[in-house]
Amino acid sequence: MRKAILLAFVFMIVFSTQVFATLPNTSYNQIVYDENDISYSSAPASFVPETEHVFAGINGLKDPRDIYVDPSGEYMYIVDTGNNRIVRCDKDLRPLDILSNFSFSSTEDSLRGPQGVFVDKYTDLIYVCDTQNHRIIVFDQDFNCVRIFAEPEILLSSDTTSFNYLPSKVLVNRSGQMLTIVQSLNKGIMELSSDGEFVGYIGAPPVSVDLWQKFLRLFMTKEQRGKMEKFVPTEFDNFTFDESEFVYAASSTQMGQLMSQYSNQIVVKDLAPVKKLNPKGDNVIDYDYYPPMGDIYFDVMTQFVDVVYLSDDLFCALDKNMGRLYAYDGDGQFLYMFGGGAGERLAQGSQLGTFKTPIAVERIGSRYFVLDQATRSITSFLPTEYGSAIEKSASAYYNGDYDLAYSTWEEILRMNGNYHQAIEGMARVLLRNGHYKEALDYFKIIDSNGKHASDAFKQYRKQLVSQYQMPIFVLILSAFAFAVVRKIWIALKKLKAEAIL
Amino acid sequence: MIEKARANTFGYLSGLWREIAFSLRVMTKPFDGYWDLKHEKRGSVRASVFIILCMLLATLAHYQFSGFFFVKSFVRDEVSIIREFLVITVPFALWVISSWCFTTLMDGEGSMKDIFIATAYALVPMIIINLPLVFISNLVTLEEGAFIDVLKGIGIVWSGFLIFSGTLVTHQYSIGKGLLTILVTLAGMGILLFLALLVATLLQQVLSFFIGLYQEIGLRLL
């Protein structure tokens, strides 16, 4: 008897720990917003932390600023700014080789405070932003220096005197043109030709002066007016290409302005903290009401510092203030969120999967990698069943595989009944397949009364009208006939009365 | 006895009905209508109150029974009858008081009662247009909702014109003076609101002073 109790006790302990062990080590806030973005509820973990890489083998990182996965998905480049080097790792983050010193035209040279790296998928050349040396350097795959682009001569700007050229990120497109983010330059992304000559700026919204500002200008001194003219703060933090070389750019400076002007829909598109720029530099991001902007209701404002493009128009943006990652689909619809730590009282980045100062995010396969500048480490995240189902459904819907998307959404709803995106998606599939009444019912469940719901209603109304064509026709006809008969009746009565008189 | 009460009730109701029905004439022929309203006593305060209640009903019906595409469910869930009542009556009262203040100064011939009745009767087009729209909004899609907005706009403009013509007829004003009066009345509404807020704030201060005094005495002396 005693043995049995003991055994049961042991079993209890073993199984209880097992239960806890199988629970993913999640960070604290996993949330999903409802359709109207007015409330949120908790959600299952979409991604869970796997390991934290600290790179002890190469004496650790110092003030790292960026990570970059080359187009083949085989290598990751870590920009180890404080150590003046670039570290190349394999996709499991084992360091392979290090770039710090190099020789160019038989002179020894070295990097100083590099902040960005990019690998051109057409030429396999590595572009490094040697920020503190004011230049962009091109290396081949064996880290031999091929070319150095010094500071370009800026033709358009009138105030070059105080300008300090500090290129921090670079992208190179099909034709060899370089797009660079230059630190403390608030005119957008600088575009350089393949020879390193200045072409122009893209991505900065046009300066709009409203009537009130024009009125205020009447009373301003010249100095004040000059100050106002410089008010075009579009400073990007990081950017990335999608397959067709549209630029996804994150900007942490936009949120404050966005929050003060969110009722002005035109301005909001220009101030979106994550932009999708076409080659002309226009923001072409899609969204319903709010642009992708992280937390809509918050104590600490979301500020996106980096964005990673996944596939099928999905992208994920990193918020430095709360250490959270937010994924969106091509319609700007929020998909999932994970991470945490930075701004929260509880974690402060000490728990695995939370961050102190997250600064860059990359993705290899289904793994996310997040670089934390303060803890000098890279944390990898693996998807849960829930997280991968969300991505699967979004991709399936994007690729037109509606049946797969529908069944995946059903699966997601079993895991999270509050996931309104699934209901919305199912409603859209139903609408597409001609089940208008059901689609409308689904839209009504989540109170989604936008364009798609309206289309469903229109088709449903058409169905009803054609179904009850006969009765409606008879009703209208009889009403008309009744009116005519009544008119004649009255006229006859009148005639009769007159005849009698 | 019962017969008499029944006759009284019937008389009251039929009288009220005639007064309310007269609003249709005011609506279609504002200048004649307002003249009769004032000089032949075709309207009444009780009918005006009834019209204001109808306005409240129309607003509530809009929130409760409008189509899916025109009222978000979280708005519908948050509707408060008291708040909607205040949203209608407070601006109404401000308008009437402010209008009376200025027209009295500007040689207007209307009494406060006249202004109250004229303003209430001016609301009728909005009620008459909005109520059927609640039903129609259940049959139209989001894109067709533009028609509803247009019709609502017509209702507001119509009511605005009735208020204007009501002011002209009630006080025997010329057009220019009428426009001026309306502008001044609008400004007066702002001033009234400001004064009300000022009084409220001051009262609050005084009140908190006495509460503080009471607490101090209670804690220190007793």
- Could you tell me the pLDDT band of residue A481, with boundaries at 50, 70 and 90? very high
The answer as to whether A253 is a domain residue is: no
Average pLDDT over all residues of chain A: 81
User: Which DSSP string corresponds to A375-432?
Assistant: TTEEEEEEE-HHHHHHHHHHHHHHTT-HHHHHHHHHHHHHH-TT-HHHHHHHHHHHHH
Distance from CA of B212 to the nearest CA of A (A): 33
What's the CA gap between B164 and A150, in Å, rounded? Answer: 72
A486 in a structural domain: yes
What's the pLDDT tens digit per position in B101-128? 999 998 888 899 999 999 999 999 999 9
Residue B213, pLDDT score: 92
Q: What's the average model confidence in pLDDT over B83-101? A: 94
Structural domains of chain A, count: 2
Q: In the prediction, which pLDDT does A24 show?
A: 37
Name the residue facing B69 among A36, A38, A449 (closest C-beta). A449
Residue A357 near residue A374 (C-beta atoms within 8 A): yes
Q: Residue A253's pLDDT band (boundaries 50, 70, 90)?
A: confident
DSSP state letters, A317-362: EEETTTTEEEEE-TT--EEEEEE--TT-TTTTT-STT--SSEEEEE
**Residue numbers of the domain that contains A481:** 471-501
State the average pLDDT for chain B: 91
Same domain, A485 and A501: yes
**Hey, what are A86's tokens?**
């670039």
- Indicate yes or no: CB of A449 within 8 angstroms of CB of B72: yes
Q: Is residue A91 part of a domain?
A: no
- Chain A residues whose CB is inside 8 A of the B142 CB are 449-451, 453-454
Quick one: pLDDT at residue A104? 83
Q: Taking residues A410-414, report their average pLDDT.
A: 90
CA distance B213 to chain A (A): 37
pLDDT in tens, A10-25: 544 444 433 333 333 3
A9 falls in which pLDDT band (50, 70, 90)?
Answer: low
Query: Tell me: the pLDDT tens digits for A322-376?
Result: 888 899 988 888 888 888 766 555 556 677 888 888 899 999 988 999 998 888 8
Residue A362 lies in a domain: no
- Would you say A123 and A162 are in contact if contact means Cβ atoms under 8 Å apart? no
Q: Which residues of A touch B139 (CB under 8 A)?
A: 461
User: What was the pLDDT predicted at A17?
Assistant: 37
Compute the average pLDDT of residues A480-496: 92
Which of A267-281, A338-352, A479-493 has the lowest average pLDDT?
A: A338-352
Vertex B80 angle, CA B75 and B85, to 5°: 120
Cα–Cα dist A170/A302, whole Å: 24
Q: Which of B69, B74, B139 sits opposite A38 (nearest CB)?
A: B74
Q: Is residue A460 part of a domain?
A: yes
CA distance A222 to A210: 19
Note the pLDDT of residue A106.
80
Q: A454 vs B74: CB contact, 8 Å cut-off?
A: no
CA distance A344 to chain B (A): 30
pLDDT for A486: 93
Q: Do A58 and A94 meet the contact criterion of CB atoms below 8 Å apart?
A: no
Q: H or E segment at A211?
A: helix A211-217
According to the model, what pLDDT value does residue A265 have?
A: 61
Asked whether the predicted pLDDT for residue A255 surpasses 80, the reply is no
Asked if residue A295 belongs to a domain, the reply is no
A367-372 and A377-383 beta bridge pairing: antiparallel
Which of B137, B139, B140, B142 is the best residue to mutate to test the A interface, defined by the most A CB atoms within 10 Å of its own CB?
B142
Of B74, B139, B142, the CB nearest to A36: B74
Q: What is the ipTM of this complex?
A: 0.75
- Integer Cα distance of B105 and B146 in angstroms: 43
CB contact under 8 A, B72 and A453: no
The DSSP bridge partners found for residue A170 are A180
Helix (H) or strand (E) holding A5: helix A2-22
Under the banding of pLDDT at 50, 70 and 90, the label for residue A26 is: very low
Same domain, A419 and A463: yes
More confident residue, A251 or A258: A251
Record: contact B69-A461, CB cut-off 8 A: no
Q: Is the pLDDT reported for residue B152 higher than 90?
A: yes
- The answer to whether the Cβ–Cβ distance between B68 and A36 falls below 8 Å is no
CA distance A319 to chain B (A): 29
Closest CA to B165 of B156, B155, B175: B175
* B68: nearest CB among A444, A451, A458: A444
Residues of chain A contacting B136 with CB distance shorter than 8 Å? none
Q: Which residues of A touch B73 (CB under 8 A)?
A: 447
Task: Give the minimum alpha-carbon distance from B166 to chain A in angstroms, rounded to a whole number.
Answer: 36
Place of tokens 């209208």: A476
Looking at residue A220, what DSSP letter applies?
-
Cβ contact, residue pair A447, B74, below 8 Å: yes
Whether the pLDDT of residue B210 is over 90: the answer is yes
| Model confidence pLDDT, tens digit, residues A43-91 | 788 888 888 888 888 888 889 999 999 888 889 999 999 899 999 998 8
Q: Is the pLDDT of residue B82 over 80?
A: yes
Does residue A484 lie within any of the structural domains?
yes
The C-alpha of B62 sits at a distance from chain A's nearest C-alpha, in angstroms, of 17
Q: Are residues A460 and A488 in the same domain?
A: no
Cβ–Cβ below 8 Å for A449 and B143: no
> What pLDDT, on the 0 to 100 scale, is given for residue B153?
95
Chains A–B, number of C-beta pairs less than 8 Å apart: 27
Lowest-pLDDT choice from A228-237, A264-273, A301-310, B38-47: A228-237
The Cα of A443 is separated from the nearest Cα of chain B by a number of Å equal to: 10
Q: Is the model's pLDDT at B180 over the cut of 90?
A: yes
Contact B74 A457 (CB under 8 A): no
Q: Residues of B with CB below 8 A from A36's CB? A: 72, 74
Phi and psi (nearest 5°) for A50?
A: -110, -70
Decide if pLDDT at A111 tops 70: yes
Give pLDDT, residue A3: 59
Specify the pLDDT at position A233.
60
Other beta carbons less than 10 A from residue A386's beta carbon: 21
Tell me if A454 and B141 make a contact (CB, 8 A cut-off): yes
Query: Which one of B66, B70, B71, B73 makes the best mutation probe of the A interface by having the most chain A beta carbons within 10 Å?
Result: B73
**Model pLDDT for residues A447-469, shown as the tens digit of each residue:** 777 788 888 999 999 999 898 88
pLDDT at A35: 55
Is A442 part of a structural domain of the chain? yes
**Same domain (yes/no): A433, A477:** no
